[in-house]
Chain A
């Protein structure tokens, strides 16, 4: 069932999209597709046969009348009886063909449901699986709404193509071929006339249909524009009110709305007028053929040519031809209705493939993280059970294996980096974080604090320099294992639809309920969670919109606590928590940070004072480093930042 949706057209399809789409479809469902086509053929025969049967009954009647007419002039008593056999035969043939067609049609519908939904499921999961493996840069480059639209509108457009347009086109072609056969049996000349008419139909379809497609594209753009505006204004509605900006907003909206109306009207008008035009060209064609046919029958200027050879023009053949010709013309009407959906589906499929073709995040790492047992003599042994100790398993090119204990020693040496190659945003960064140390980054937004953490987790790869983790170049470490060893609490918390418990468990899928409660207590989230309507089983929806920003932050801290990684990155983790709550969290955070290497980014200098080292960043360079006391003594930028509030008193 079509879900009414008119979004989805953003640009045109790439070449070869149709071929690829059909190729994929064929690969997955070749047997079913053959069955479907078979059903379509049978069904086409069934629907074409009506004109046959009509011709047949015509000749039976004529035959009866003629025989009776020549033998007697009595009112036709025995008329029916004389052809009862033929009529019964017709009934049986018709009944059986219809039955078969009906069965074929039923099977067709059932199989199509399976193919369509199965294929969509495949496409969806393919897209999602791909998306999850894409590098962060993809998400930084593309708008969330655009990616989303591929899942909703584009997939929906493909559904229309597969479930409606393609079968319709196949059926039309087959029916057309059959009808052409019927027409040729009856008259070659009239067929030529019909084809000329059909050419006209084609011409209008392309002309009007093309216009429709053009305006549909424009409509999509107008829709996108207006929806963007609506979204912005609805989410900013409170700001609109505070600034009494209502009138202006309405005025701007009306402008966009008029434009949308204009494009929408044209797109729909073109689509609406196509059917009556084609239908009536068909009607006129019908009359023209009827007249020509009649004249031919009467004057017989030349013999009728059929595929069986020349013969005289007969009324029966003209009547049969007419029925077939009408169906032939109407047939194209149905295809014309599919033009828009084909154009939109191809554009949609093109974007779907575009996502699927994106290059995955590369991972050439071969050093993995394993559970380790540390023997008394200090050697490390790999084990399968959880020991609380971890080690990097490092295979070397000579076939030997070495194990290095996971300690959380991270060193950046002379690192340069740019999000785009020719625009370096980090210059010559060197940081040494020994296991258990707390390193803080201070600096204005845009100074490169978050960028540094992006490099440690390898969300982005460095341009120059080296990052070593427990002495191993992080490029050699498998990304999954690298990240597993680093816990992160970000400023933008992301919660997932599910219960509070499930959201905390995200940090460690094997965690028991007790572990979860323990982690929540560390983050000081336990209190507020127990006060929620269903406690740990409270459902969170819409990215946890039923929680306050601070509460969401606490949950993400609990999540990190549960993950229990030796290295922690706290990127403005406490920025949304009020001072009062922060004091509570700080206790937990201190517990959490103990024995771990921590990288902290915070605006509130009070939260980082006890760091082992503070890096003051400016425009991608470290301009000061040292612990709090050193930096205060140095009376540099940090000192100014720190005491800034008091200077003015």
Chain B
């Protein structure tokens, strides 16, 4: 229930359309209910006796004309209502979906890294796309039929009683039976489907793996192996789906059985009842039940059963979209773990950074701290190198500086003030991070660069690119800064991508620049050139460099060695060469011939 409340908050301006849609459906139903009644009166006018009499004494057209006029008018009203309800339902559901997506997208943009980690980005994509579509479809069904089906059913049964109480009892028997059977089928099928869809998703997942891993498949000559694997999985899905669809297929005959049973009873018992209740007085035939009424009873019967069918389909749709709805609500209800403070500080004084007894864990209930008791003091303008194996929490350490995550214990100060006191945008604009998993977005190079500063002039773009050693290859492109970057930056090389990302980060003119393994794909010469440039042109900026290549950090003012979330040693290159054997070994491993080469 709470879920529905959360979701329905997104209907907003489309509440009106939703209500109108239901209102017009209501009118449509009224018309559709009344029409068979009038039609039965019309049919009764088309009677051999009346016609025979009419031929001798003249026919009274008044009744038939009035009936016809009324019916045609009602048809038009029904048409109008139907069209309007259809349009309103379309705009209400599309609008609801639009607002849902809007709210979700906005919410995700408020998320912190911790929130995003919790959901994973691909699951967020599904929630914003497929899940919303499912809820939208269910919503459209609901507003179009939630009014129609019950009203239609109730009115139809009432009208059936009006037309012939002696026959209408059959409705009372057939309706609950059919309803029970349909719901039973739906519930059974729903369970099976949930299970199969998981398998189906797994199958598609394996297709995806095959597409992205096609080089691996081909180089190990595993085409036939994969085909057999796929055939087996696909065959299993075929079996499961066939089973489920065979159960669903019972819907039709069950429904038809009900219709046939109704027809059978109405026509035969009806025929009997007509005759039993016919009186002929002085050659004038008087009937309580007429053929016209039988016709309308059949129509009411079909309308009742169709409504039932619709109800059972809505029921299934709601069941199937519940999961989607739950997943959407989960995002909407998620509280961002990092929020702006109440009276934020809007200025970062300088690039000094102070870690005081900082510990951090990704989840509150995690057993082990990812960072343990870090103490580190960095002066503004210094260059810091961080070295450490995978899992040593280097990235974690730097992510705390721009408050991508909040420290669990201790304090972290930038420019002398606790990061939690800054306005988030201010802090993140002053602490520029080039992420390890950096990304370019579809758009031109200039557009991508301007993420760093939307108001940057062409001159500034060029400066930043010069510093990041990116201008050399950008100038080589035909369209220069207007070159289009494909999604994910797939049309530039890894090294080029990294250099563009650095340029983008430089455009912020940050007080702290963090390069998280950002030059791994750049050749050593360019790498050195970039570092030299940074030193020369932005001396005020604190630079933190995480790298695998020792050459990238050996000229740093301070090198920190990390392992298992703690700082195990620190010092300059020379100091570490002397005192730390591991450092020395790494250095030698990377450079054991370099000195020789250099010496020659």
Contact = CB atoms under 8 A, between A and B. Distances in A.
Contacts of B128: 230, 234
B524 interface: yes
Contact of A316 (B48, B212, B267): B48
Interface residues of B, number: 192
A603 B71 CA distance: 83
Given A235-B121, A644-B524, A276 B487 contact: no
Contacts of A110: 246, 249
Interface stretch (B94-102, B165-173, B357-365, B375-383): B94-102
A311 interface: no
B425 A244 contact: yes
Interface in B115-147: 116, 120-122, 124-125, 128-130, 133-134, 137-138, 140, 144
Residue among A61, A243, A606 with the most chain B CB within 10 A?
Answer: A243
Interface stretch (A14-22, A186-194, A318-326, A380-388): A318-326
Contacts of B116: 237-238
A178 B109 CA distance: 60
B220 A6 contact: no
Given A4-B137, A494-B209, A644-B524, A65 B220 contact: no
A279 interface: yes
B362 to A, nearest CB: 14
Given A269-B87, A287-B42, A646-B598, A102 B211 contact: no
A583 B523 contact: no
Given A132-B226, A580-B586, A646-B594, A457 B271 contact: no
Contacts of A500: none
B102 A254 contact: yes
A5 interface: yes
Interface stretch (B75-83, B341-349, B455-463): B75-83
A459 B218 CA distance: 9
Interface in A82-118: 83, 87, 90-91, 94-95, 98, 101-102, 105-106, 108-110, 112-114, 116-118
Contacts of A272: 85-87, 89-90, 144
B493 interface: yes
B132 to A, nearest CB: 10
B8 interface: no
A114 B243 CA distance: 9
B593 interface: yes
B390 A578 contact: yes
A57 B267 contact: yes
B294 interface: yes
A128 B260 contact: no
A581 interface: yes
A306 interface: no
Nearest to B84: A273
Contact of B105 (A120, A230, A490, A545): A230
Contacts of A101: 256, 260
Contacts of B257: 102
Contacts of B272: 80, 87
A50 B532 CA distance: 91
Contact of A643 (B94, B122, B597): B597
B396 interface: no
B495 A3 contact: no
Interface string B229-253: 0110011011001101110111111
B404 A238 contact: yes
Residue among B42, B93, B278 with the most chain A CB within 10 A?
Answer: B278
A228 B487 contact: yes
Interface in A457-509: 457, 459, 480, 483-484, 486-488, 490, 492-497, 506-507, 509
A165 B205 CA distance: 29
B428 A94 contact: no
B188 to A, nearest CB: 12
A497 B202 contact: yes
A24 interface: no
Given A131-B210, A132-B210, A290 B68 contact: yes
A647 B45 contact: no
B95 A444 contact: no
Residue among B210, B237, B404 with the most chain A CB within 10 A?
Answer: B210
B226 A260 contact: no
Nearest to B492: A445
Interface string B553-584: 00100000000000000000000000000000
B19 interface: no
A559 B217 CA distance: 12
Contacts of B39: 286, 290
Interface string A51-75: 0011001101110110011000111
A74 B281 CA distance: 7
Contacts of A91: 264, 268
Interface stretch (B153-161, B412-420, B437-445, B537-545): B437-445
A237 B112 CA distance: 10
A445 B496 contact: yes
A579 interface: yes
B179 interface: no
B46 A632 contact: no
A261 interface: yes
A268 B140 contact: yes
Interface in A415-472: 444-446, 457, 459
Contacts of B237: 121
Given A147-B211, A297-B46, A497-B206, A490 B525 contact: no
Interface stretch (A245-253, A370-378, A402-410, A518-526): A245-253
B582 to A, nearest CB: 8
B520 A609 contact: no
B429 interface: yes
B227 A128 contact: yes
B94 A268 contact: yes
B244 to A, nearest CB: 7
Contacts of A267: 90
A122 to B, nearest CB: 9
Contact of A265 (B91, B203, B321, B389): B91
Contacts of A34: none
A231 B108 CA distance: 13
A237 B68 contact: no
A401 interface: no
A362 interface: no
Given A265-B94, A272-B86, A497-B206, A232 B189 contact: no
5 contacts: A105-B253, A129-B231, A244-B425, A445-B493, A580-B390
Given A121-B235, A580-B390, 11 more contacts: A61-B271, A65-B275, A68-B280, A76-B275, A128-B227, A264-B97, A268-B90, A287-B72, A318-B46, A578-B548, A604-B590
